[in-house]
Structure 1
Amino acid sequence: MRISRFAAATATIAASALVLSACAAPQSEVVEGSSITVAWNQPFYSYNSNTSFGNATANANIVYLTSGGFNYYNNEPALVKDESFGTYELVSEDPLTVKYTIADDVQWSDGTPVDAADMLLAWAANSGVLNTPDFDPGEFTDPETGEFTDDYPTDVVYFDGAIGAGLQLVTETPEIDGKSITLVYDEFFVDWELVFGVGLPAHVVAQRALGIEDAQEAKDALVEAVQNADAAALAPISSVWNSDWNFTELPAEEDANLLVVNGPYKITDFVADQSITLTANENYRGENLPNIEEITIRFISDPLAAVQALANGEVDIISPQATADVADALAALDGVTVLGGEEAVYEHFDLTFENSKNGTFDNPLLREAFLKTIPRQQIVDTLIKPLNPEAEVRNSQLFLPGAAGYDETVANNGMAEKFGEVDIEGAKALIAEAGVTDPAVCILYASNNPRRVNEFALIQASAQEAGFVVEDCGSPEWGGLLGTPGAYDAVFFGWQSTSLGVTNSSSTFRTGGINNLNYYSNPQVDALLDELDVTLDPERQIEIQLEIDKLLMDDFYGVTIFQFPAVTAFSDRVTNVNPGPLSPTIFWNAWDWEPTESN
């Protein structure tokens, strides 16, 4: 499933790498020879989860386990500072000025120190400040794969980073000093604590982009390129940053530097479409030393297959998409602990406003008509209530059910009123008014996910009754296609929340936001998001979000469907599995997992 772009921006800071002081490496706590296997429902395919292509939970999980950061969320959820990786200081509120400092001895897995060059690269990549103006990468994106084509120009600077998540407000090149960087914001940003961290290794990026062998020389060249806005050097640097870390199997020996990380684990094996193996990083200098030496993550898309693998002892931890069959199958297992609840993930159906396959939803009448056909209540009754009898249709793009403002927005935004029930006749009338015959709608979804296959069947049957021609554009590689021009007209998947930040939705609904996958644009929404970014008053924050929620529905943006029911199960070979509601859910405290005598 995709994660929110705001979340992607914090993925690099959300890694749980705590660092001990002193010069010597801490005594290892790893249990030699210990190993466990975890099942996940989507293969890993990119180590750079801050790009539009790599922005997926399946990728962010691996980044989290192998990266250090300034803070992370625990399972309460509460933000925990990781001061042994580094510290950050609010120097000034006007102008907002924040200084970040990497702790002594923090290093990449190849022994290269983590320092200000790495943070300067993170700013350059995720602020967009150095990007070539008016460059449109959509012209060079393959609609079949979502990756950039061979025709991608070599003379443009374009970092496909987490634009819109806050760093775009830092337009002046930050000052650096050794292991420190100071960010000065043009305006106050309410969620400043959540938007910055170390991403890819600067020395490796520069080595690959500029052909420089020595790590320090490579860093120096990258710093010089950023500070001087040297487009000739930044063009290959941005291209390498965008694309080189996309890989679906273990890189060849000559590309081994793609595996350089700074967290508790490092990637040691990767079999395409099968599994990825992480091993404790001997060069990790954090306090959160892992107990388990090796974690293998198997890619199992079918939830029942994951349960069967757990029953067979092939995997030790699973967190599949919950269904009634999954619940029944888990109840029959011995030696397994099952945890339930509700995830901070919600299913949503979005319409594409521009760059779609058929152009159907360029017409607002057809957008409204299609939303009238989506059988949201039937989906919840059929697929979710067997797991959670109290489950209800979610009726807000911004508010979590039960949170302050949710009831008010449901009464105000029009989602429940206009699209609470299927209205085939109303949809037919709107199609007729639009003067279109047999409007085509290509729907993208995860075709290897049984629940999503069932959802698509229900949506297709209902929409076709109204006169839409619904094309099955489902794909196992759906994640990499999100936001790809010309690939589809509509899509449904789950947004995974990874923070409690009030600006969490900014890069999703903002014009040009890195998480704006359906090319939505409304100047009023943009202005409200700008205000939300700098608003500290909680009451006004809610008022702004209420206004945005209604504007989205007035534009027939899409609809939300349900909050995910959660299920995690683990065998008696491992303890201390305590999933949290935010991404990375089961992995947030992987360093605390302990093997039992059964391991």
Structure 2
Amino acid sequence: MKYTKLSAAAALAAGSALMLSACAPAGPAASGDGSEAAGSGDASASGSGEVLTGDKGQKLTAKADGPSMADLGDVKTEDGSIAYSVGADDFLSYNGVQSNTYTTYNSAVVDRMFSSFYYFGTDGSIIRNEDFGKYEKVSDDPLKVKYTINEDAKWSDGTPVTAADFIVQWAADNPTITDPNGEKDEEGNLPPLFDSITGDPGTYIPEAPEGEADSKEFTVTYAEPYADWEILIGSALPAHVIAEQSGMELTELVDAAKAKDAEALAPAAKFWNEKWDFNPGELPDPALTPSMGPYKFKENGWQAGQSITLEANPEYWGTPAATKELVLRFADPKTHVQSLQNGDLDVIEPQATVDTLEQLKGLGDQVNIQTGDQLTWEHIDYNRGKGSVFADSPELREAFALCVPRQDIVDKLIKPIYPEAKVMNAREVFPFQDTYDEVIAESYNTELDQPNIEKAKELVEKSGVDKPTVRLGYQAGNPRRTETVALIKSSCDQAGFDIQDTNSTVFFKEVLPAGDFDAALFAWSGSGQKASGANIYKTTGAQNQMNYSNPEVDAAWDKLASSLDEAEQFEQVKKIEKLLWEDFQAIPLYAHPGIVGHNANVANVRDTAAQSGALWNVEQWKRVQ
């Protein structure tokens, strides 16, 4: 699975946009705040000790209405622990937004330690978290947004969360602050001073946030309107720690950030880039890793290669964690069902396959099972680069689209898991979203509903290529994709293609970057974003690994991204979808079904469509009778 790009600040808060090769299990938490959002559910049962039954059979301690966190009322942290695993990879770094630490595995840990101005709800919508702070758009021209941090918000070492944290985070996410001693790229550009996974805040907000270092308020001004302005600023790493470890006063560091002074910022960048990365099992002095979320590192709680334990943060000002300890185990996904059965894990999110679902059902009343749509979609992308059979042949691209048995794939591989599953006919909207029908009505040709082998044969002949070979690549170790390729081969070989299954253990790491494939089978995932697809389909997009280019698509994305008018944004989405279908680029297959299995005595586990996965509200999980 690959994840569409967010800002580092948003990712730090939301655990989103992770660039991964893994397809299972699901991603990390949507919120590091542990607080209820405005508009959360009915609190009629809060604090009463009553256990409710949710509409999916799971246990709840408060009614959960809508996509936001339920209001649990007066929460007191209870002794005990709950165990979860995102996969086998060990923890890496407190700074989870560097190029070498930005993974689901790492975010599953650090996202518990940060609060944010927003989080993603169960339907992927943006939920404002006013327990952390508030934000308001104060001007459209120029686009200007004011942020106010909760007066009580503080780090676990007692230091207040202030504008200083966000000003320094902006500098870290600013690609125009470059390393004068770095190695230039082929175009002669120096690398950014800070190793951040994004440059969006510094790109869209060219000048530093306005505000005093010790203030609870700051304002950002955009160079031009930006559709995703609500999620560009989310959370921040602790500026006071960076300053102290860099031998600087906090005001000195903030002034250097505002001035974009690379020389003055060099010591801070060195610490930011290197000193929050740990050796397995060796957590540093807690003073280096304060928390402003519901959990913090437990002393001696990291067992290398086994697990890391977090404990409730006693200095957290918001709703406290419901359970004292959260154990995050480093366990092979193949072992998760067995570990759930024997009690080593309490909550799992295995890849949704028929076999896995049957295994979970076999555990009977011991577990609850939740299934549903996810904002993750499977697709086939054409490689248009040199050496690909699809590079210069619109006939072969159309022929392949006409022979892929999309309905058959959904019927055989997805519906047995999730009966409501449908073939997906768009890329930027999902079948379960309200605008989907209108989008496909104006962009999609129903001729593609079922394979048309005869027409595909004619197009193959017209291409002049005799028995064109299609190397269909994907990350090895994914049974569902292996079955998908087999179904495609069975159909498309009849049209004159020679489909070859070229899965690889290094598909994302080596094969995809080298362009050594004709078509790629993988998934994109995102939450609450409007313009992130530009990074995939624009000619200059950083995630455009298919060498796709269409000036009309580029222009539509530019218009969408620079508009604050939702009606205009929607018109551009429809235009983009129509153009992508005309180009037969990124053939959608289906929205991923999700599975969450959990101990029947763990309450408040709620599945989500967002890529953040079950951990999105982990601070609300608790054991009940």
TM range (shorter): 0.7 to 0.9
Q: Unpaired segments of 5 or more residues in structure 2?
A: 15-30, 37-73
Q: Is residue 161 from structure 1 mapped to residue 177 from structure 2 by the alignment?
A: no
Question: Partner of 2:606 in structure 1?
Answer: 578
Task: Tell me what 1:148 maps to.
Answer: none
8 Å Cα contact 2:349/2:614 also seen in 1: yes
| Contact map agreement 1:128 1:159 (CA 8 A) in 2 | no
2:593 corresponds to which letter in structure 1? P
- 1:389 maps to which of 415, 419, 427: 419
Give deviations 1:279-314, integer Å, cap 9, x for gaps: 1253642313112222223355546x4223222222
- What is the Cα deviation at residue 488 of structure 1? 5.8
Number of equivalent positions: 563
Matched, 1:181 2:218: yes
Q: Superposition RMSD on alpha carbons, in Å?
A: 4.2
Show CA shifts across 1:399-451 (max 9, x none): 21143443344344356535842749837954873658865636132x33332
Matches within 5 A, 1:405-416: 405-414=435-444, 416=446
Query: Contact 2:399–2:455 at 8 Å: present in 1 too?
Result: no
The equivalent residue for 1:343 is: 374
**In structure 2, the residue corresponding to 1:589 is in which secondary structure?**
helix
1:200 lines up with 2:241 in the alignment: no
Match of 1:30 in 2: 77
Between the aligned partners of 2:336 and 2:453, the Cα distance in structure 1 is: 38
2:296 is aligned, of 266, 288, 304, to 266
Is the aligned partner of 1:17 residue 2:53? Answer: no
Q: How many Å apart are 1:81 and its aligned residue?
A: 3.1
- Between the aligned partners of 1:418 and 1:52, the Cα distance in structure 2 is 39
The within-5 A match list for 1:184-583 is: 184-202=221-239, 212-214=245-247, 217=249, 219-220=250-251, 222-232=253-263, 250=280, 252=282, 259-268=289-298, 269=301, 275-282=306-313, 284-299=315-330, 302=333, 305-332=335-362, 333-353=364-384, 359=388, 361-365=390-394, 367-368=397-398, 370-372=400-402, 374-414=404-444, 416-418=446-448, 420-421=450-451, 423=453, 426=456, 429-430=459-460, 433=463, 439=469, 441=471, 443-445=473-475, 447-459=476-488, 466-468=496-498, 470=500, 472-475=502-505, 484=513, 490-499=519-528, 501-518=529-546, 520-583=548-611
Indicate the SS of the match to 1:6: coil
SS at match of 1:98: strand
2:66 corresponding residue in structure 1: none
Mark the CA change 1:123 to 1:497 in structure 2 (over 3 Å): closer, same or farther.
same
Which residue is 1:106 aligned to?
153
Matched AA of 2:478: N
1:66 alignment partner in structure 2: 113
Q: Which residue of 1 aligns with 2:620?
A: 592
Shift of 1:548: 0.5
For residue 431 of structure 2, what is the amino acid of its counterpart? P
* 1:46-125 equivalence runs, <5 A: 50=97, 56-75=103-122, 79-104=126-151, 106-109=153-156, 112-125=159-172
Displacement after TM superposition at 1:549 (Å): 0.8
Q: Tell me: CA distance 1:49–1:251, structure 2 relative to 1, closer, same or farther (3 Å).
A: same
Check conservation: 1:111, 1:283, Cα contact below 8 A: no
SS at match of 1:200: coil
The Cα offsets for residues 152-182 of structure 1, whole Å up to 9 and x where unpaired, read as: 9986547553355x76321223323124432
Residues 2, 55 of structure 1: 8 Å contact kept: no
Change (3 A) 1:55 1:252: closer
Distance 1:403 1:532 in 2: 19
The alpha-carbon deviation at position 546 of structure 1 amounts to: 0.9
1:233-288: per-residue Cα shift (whole Å, max 9, x none)? Answer: 567866775677677x736466988755432223455566x554231253642313
CA distance 1:115–1:9, change in 2 (3 Å): closer
Task: Tell me the distance in 1 between the aligned counterparts of 2:285 and 2:471.
Answer: 41
Distance in 2 separating the partners of 1:374 and 1:118: 50
Range with greater deviation from structure 2 (452-461 or 186-195): 452-461
**TM-score, length-normalised on structure 1?**
0.78
TM-score by length of 2: 0.75
Paired residue type of 1:550: K
Please say if 1:40 is aligned against 2:77. Answer: no
**1:170 aligned residue:** 205
Q: Which amino acid aligns with 1:122?
A: Q
CA–CA distance in structure 2, aligned partners of residues 170 and 364 of structure 1: 41
Decide whether the 8 Å contact of 2:135 with 2:147 is kept in 1.
Answer: yes
Distance 1:402 1:436, change over 3 A: same
Partner of 1:17, secondary structure, is coil
SS in 2 for 1:562: strand
Partner Cα distance (1:261, 1:508) in 2: 34
CA drift of 1:183 comes to 0.5
Aligned partner letter, 2:86? W
Identity of aligned residues (%): 31
Q: Would you say the 8 A contact 1:464–1:470 is kept in 2?
A: no
Structure 1: runs of 5 or more not aligned? 21-26, 141-151
Cα deviation, 1:482-518, whole Å, max 9, x if unaligned, reads: 974557664333333322x433534333444455454
Change (3 A) 1:255 1:460: farther
Q: What amino acid is the match of 1:17?
A: D
CA, structure 1 residues 555+240, in 2 after alignment: closer, same or farther (shift >3 Å)? Answer: farther
1:97-131 CA distance string (max 9 Å, x none) = 11223334534455554333321233234454435
Match of 2:24 in 1: none
Letter in 1 for 2:504: G
Give the conservation status (yes or no) of the 8 Å contact 2:225–2:564.
no
Assess if the C-alpha contact under 8 Å between 1:441 and 1:490 holds in 2.
yes
Distance 1:43 1:253 in 2: 17
Distance 1:543 1:91, change over 3 A: closer
